[in-house]
A and B are shown apart, each in its own frame.
Chain A
Amino acid sequence: MAHFVKKAFSDIRSNRFLNLITIITIALSILVVSIFLLFFENSSRIIESWNQGGRAMVYLVDNFTLDMLPELKTRMKALGDIDEMVYISKEEAFDKLKNEMSSQTTFLKNLKENPLPDALEIRMKSYNSFDEIQQFAEKIKALEMVDDVEYGQGWLGKFLNIFNLFKITGYAMCSMFFLIALFITSNTVRLAFYSRKLEVEIMRLVGASESFIKAPFYVAGLFQGFFGGLLGLLVLLATYLMISSGISQNLASYIYIDIRFLSVKMILLIIMASTFLGWFGCYLSLKQILK
């Protein structure tokens, strides 16, 4: 093993330019992908916090009475994972409204009866997509005691749609850059292989097995993938640190933006993916060359 690593490194040294190009290509691809992931991780977290973990208002029918509450609660619990359930009677809601809109109390006082319905404020335990909230809301709405369910269909839905579109674009971009990096990597291996055609021929003549011949190429591929990924992430980190320190100086007092760097899990995942990329590029081109 040490032998292959030594050989791979001397091969890389003797082919510096080609290897540098490959590492930079991988680094660029990883940079694009990780910019997207950074944005995605942060947006998800921000949306999560806005949505406060799937909060929804369940408005109850006019003739709802308190003795129906336990049954409603059990039936709702049967429909899905609910974290929290708070009953808000129409009187409570009306008082709250009066407090919040104290300047308009005359208008409210003139109302002959309370126009607000009884409500249950619920929070779903966990959800993965807007669809899931939507489906859950539909099920609750189908209960005869429930009049309507409000879960931010309007703006949240629209935002999530945009967000999903962005996600799809991101995936497409990631795949594109993955393919480009893969193409470049496998091309480097091909060039390296042809530039050492004599060496490979000689190795075969003296009784080297195919895996002995291929091993240094794989080590070089893994190396390129690993360091390409690392370089891409370091560039992203440097950019992130520059931008975030700029934001905190100038904007922090105006708006609250909490952009965090990629999670450790994500960083490890990216490094693993780019190392895999180096290996896979090597695998593809050797498979093609050695028929």
Chain B
Amino acid sequence: MNDIDTKNSIIRLFNVSKRYKGKFALENISLDIEQGEFIFISGPSGAGKSTLLKVLYLAEKVSEGQILIDGMNLARISSARLPFLRRRFGMVFQDFKLIPTRTVFENVALVLEAAGEKPSFIRKKVMQVLRTTGMEKKAKYYPPTLSGGEQQRVAVARAVVGDPSIILADEPTGSLDTKSAQAILDFLMEYNKRGATVLVASHNLHLLESSVRGRNIEIKNGRIERTAKML
């Protein structure tokens, strides 16, 4: 079986467990995600979906097991190299996590500024991404003056502006109406078509039904309950 060698895995988990005060949030998870896959992580509230995403971008350290991101062992990443790992991810959260005192433009530009890009490049790139998410007219607005759907579009723009190879979205539509939710999902799928690996965690099953393709990983009590290919 040289299955592993021929696969183009970008995320690999080997027997990963995460315990909070002795209680398992993730238990013995092994997982292989290929470059360009669209992954749904479903399961009830408290199942461990958020924790699974957190151990990927090193917001939390695993208690046991190993994680490889694009061949990098997360256990070996020093705090000085952590920012470089983070730049490979684009992240979207239920509560948007936008800086309220910075404009839409500044919020999105932050990613490129942190990566040390030139101001002229930043201006061009940020406006281009805001255009694709339909937010270019709101570039000078402050996030609290926008609707939830608009704020999430800004968050999505920020997630993709650095051209990350992986997008992690934790309940990205959790606080949005159906129409806004669909717009966000469509955008994530569109970005996935262009080659990025996308992981969306959600307890909302409607979200699954509306999507066209991808792999559904259902977790319950910190364990993988079921994996299904969706057409």
> What residues of chain A have their CB less than 8 Å away from a CB belonging to chain B?
3, 14, 198-199, 201-210, 212
Decide: A199 near B101, CB < 8 A? Known: A207-B162, A208-B83.
yes
The 8 closest A-B pairs by CB, nearest first: A207-B86, A208-B114, A207-B87, A207-B83, A206-B111, A209-B83, A199-B99, A202-B97
List residues of chain B with CB within 8 A of the CB of A14.
Answer: 101
Decide: A203 near B114, CB < 8 A? Known: A208-B83, A209-B83.
yes
**Are the C-beta atoms of B86 and A206 separated by less than 8 Å?**
yes
> What residues of chain B have their CB less than 8 Å away from a CB belonging to chain A?
57, 59, 79-80, 83-87, 89, 91, 97-102, 110-111, 113-115, 119, 158, 162
Residue of B nearest to A3 (CB): B113
**Are the C-beta atoms of A207 and B101 separated by less than 8 Å?**
no
Instruction: Report A207 CB to chain B, min CB distance, Å.
Output: 4
What separation, in Å, do the CA atoms of A167 and B102 have in the docked complex? Answer: 50
Instruction: Report A280 CB to chain B, min CB distance, Å.
Output: 24
What are 7 of the A-B contact pairs (CB < 8 Å)?
A3-B119, A202-B97, A203-B114, A206-B110, A206-B111, A206-B158, A207-B83
What separation, in Å, do the CA atoms of A202 and B79 have in the docked complex? Answer: 16
**Partner pick for B84 among A201, A207, A212, CB 8 A cutoff:** A207
Instruction: Report A287 CB to chain B, min CB distance, Å.
Output: 15
Instruction: Report A193 CB to chain B, min CB distance, Å.
Output: 14
List residues of chain A with CB within 8 A of the CB of B115.
Answer: 207
What separation, in Å, do the CA atoms of A199 and B110 have in the docked complex? Answer: 11
What separation, in Å, do the CA atoms of A206 and B91 have in the docked complex? Answer: 8
List residues of chain B with CB within 8 A of the CB of A205.
Answer: 57, 59, 86, 91, 97
Residue with the greatest number of chain A CB neighbours at <10 A, chosen from B57, B89, B113: B113
**Are the C-beta atoms of A198 and B99 separated by less than 8 Å?**
yes
List residues of chain A with CB within 8 A of the CB of B114.
Answer: 203, 206-209, 212
Decide: A202 near B113, CB < 8 A? Known: A207-B83, A207-B86.
no
What separation, in Å, do the CA atoms of A207 and B86 have in the docked complex? Answer: 5
Instruction: Report B99 CB to chain A, min CB distance, Å.
Output: 5
List residues of chain A with CB within 8 A of the CB of B113.
Answer: 3, 212
What separation, in Å, do the CA atoms of A14 and B102 have in the docked complex? Answer: 11
Instruction: Report A142 CB to chain B, min CB distance, Å.
Output: 65
What separation, in Å, do the CA atoms of A67 and B86 have in the docked complex? Answer: 91
**Are the C-beta atoms of A208 and B91 separated by less than 8 Å?**
no
List residues of chain A with CB within 8 A of the CB of B111.
Answer: 206-207
What separation, in Å, do the CA atoms of A212 and B110 have in the docked complex? Answer: 11
Instruction: Report A252 CB to chain B, min CB distance, Å.
Output: 57
What separation, in Å, do the CA atoms of A209 and B114 have in the docked complex? Answer: 7
What separation, in Å, do the CA atoms of A3 and B122 have in the docked complex? Answer: 12
Interface contacts beyond A14-B101, A202-B99, A208-B110: sample of 8 additional A-B pairs, CB < 8 Å, sorted by A: A199-B101, A204-B86, A205-B59, A206-B91, A206-B111, A206-B162, A207-B115, A212-B114
List residues of chain B with CB within 8 A of the CB of A208.
Answer: 83, 110, 114
List residues of chain B with CB within 8 A of the CB of A209.
Answer: 80, 83, 114
List residues of chain B with CB within 8 A of the CB of A204.
Answer: 83, 86
Instruction: Report B105 CB to chain A, min CB distance, Å.
Output: 13
What separation, in Å, do the CA atoms of A205 and B95 have in the docked complex? Answer: 14
